[in-house]
Amino acid sequence: MGQQDMPTGPADSGKRRLGVMGGTFDPIHHGHLVAASEVAAQFHLDEVVFVPTGQPWQKSDTRVSPAEDRYLMTVIATAENPQFSVSRIDIDRGGPTYTTDTLRDLRALNPDTDLFFITGADALGQILTWRYTEELFSLAHFVGVTRPGHPLTDPGLPEGGVSLVEVPALAISSTDCRARVSAGAPVWYLVPDGVVRYIDKRDLYRGD
């Protein structure tokens, strides 16, 4: 994607600009962090809130670590960046996580704020299979980011509803991180150091 193909989103409304990075984060890795940092810079966001899923209903055939472990790894990974925060709303709501609920709740908690939902190319490609899409696209501007191995295209969101953005390519996935820990391979430098230590301390993924 060339620089000229990169839209910068809707016209600036003058409101606070909040990025929303939703994910299962099992575990959070540098691909997530670089995507959030890059979108924050390109879209002049005031803050990015990371929102670990409660129950990721489209991953029901995958073993997912306890929400508290995923939440704490996300806190550890983002703690040093003053622009990053973590929200428990999807975990505390309970039940399957629908992004329409996430964005509705974040709007209620953040009046006079424009929301920018950040999503990788793979997740963006699946977005029309999400629940309650008739309301979803009115709640935030969507920012699709490049991810190695996945074509980045607008899957057919309403006009002006999505921007496609190139971010530094990191071929890292949580699936691969889990498989590496399970096989006794290192995940140093794929995930933040504190997350490596947390995985070790809690003995995550070893028996997968």
Ligand X SMILES: Nc1ncnc2c1ncn2[C@@H]1O[C@H](COP(=O)(O)OP(=O)(O)OP(=O)(O)O)[C@@H](O)[C@H]1O
Element (DSSP H or E) covering residue 169:
none
Among residues 86, 123, 152, 191, which is the contact residue for ligand X, using CB under 6 A? 123
- What is the DSSP-derived secondary structure letter of residue 57? G
End-to-end CA distance of the chain: 37
Q: Is 140 in the site for ligand NCN (CB under 6 A)?
A: no
Q: Which residue is nearest to ligand X (CB)?
A: 120
With contact defined as beta carbons under 8 Å apart, do 100 and 131 qualify? yes
Q: Which residue is nearest to ligand NCN (CB)?
A: 22
Name residue 113's beta-bridge partners: 16
> By rule CB under 6 A, what string of x and - marks binding of each residue 31-70 to ligand NCN?
----------------------x--x-xx-----------
- For the chain, what is the largest distance between any 2 Cα atoms, rounded to a whole number of angstroms? 50
Q: Is 123 in the site for ligand NCN (CB under 6 A)?
A: yes
Residue list 124-183, contact with ligand X (CB under 6 A):
145, 147, 170, 172-175
Among residues 24, 78, 146, 163, which is the contact residue for ligand NCN, using CB under 6 A? 24
Q: How far is the CB of 33 from ligand X (least distance, A)?
A: 10
- What is the DSSP-derived secondary structure letter of residue 53? -
Among residues 99, 121, 165, 192, which is the contact residue for ligand NCN, using CB under 6 A? 99
> By rule CB under 6 A, what string of x and - marks binding of each residue 78-97 to ligand NCN?
-------------------x
Measured from the CB atom, is 13 or 132 closer to ligand NCN?
132
175 contact choice in ligand X, ligand NCN, none (CB below 5 to 8 Å, kind-dependent): ligand X
Residues that bind ligand NCN (CB under 6 A): 22-24, 53, 56, 58-59, 97-100, 123, 130-131
Residues that bind ligand X (CB under 6 A): 23-26, 31-32, 35, 119-120, 122-123, 145, 147, 170, 172-175
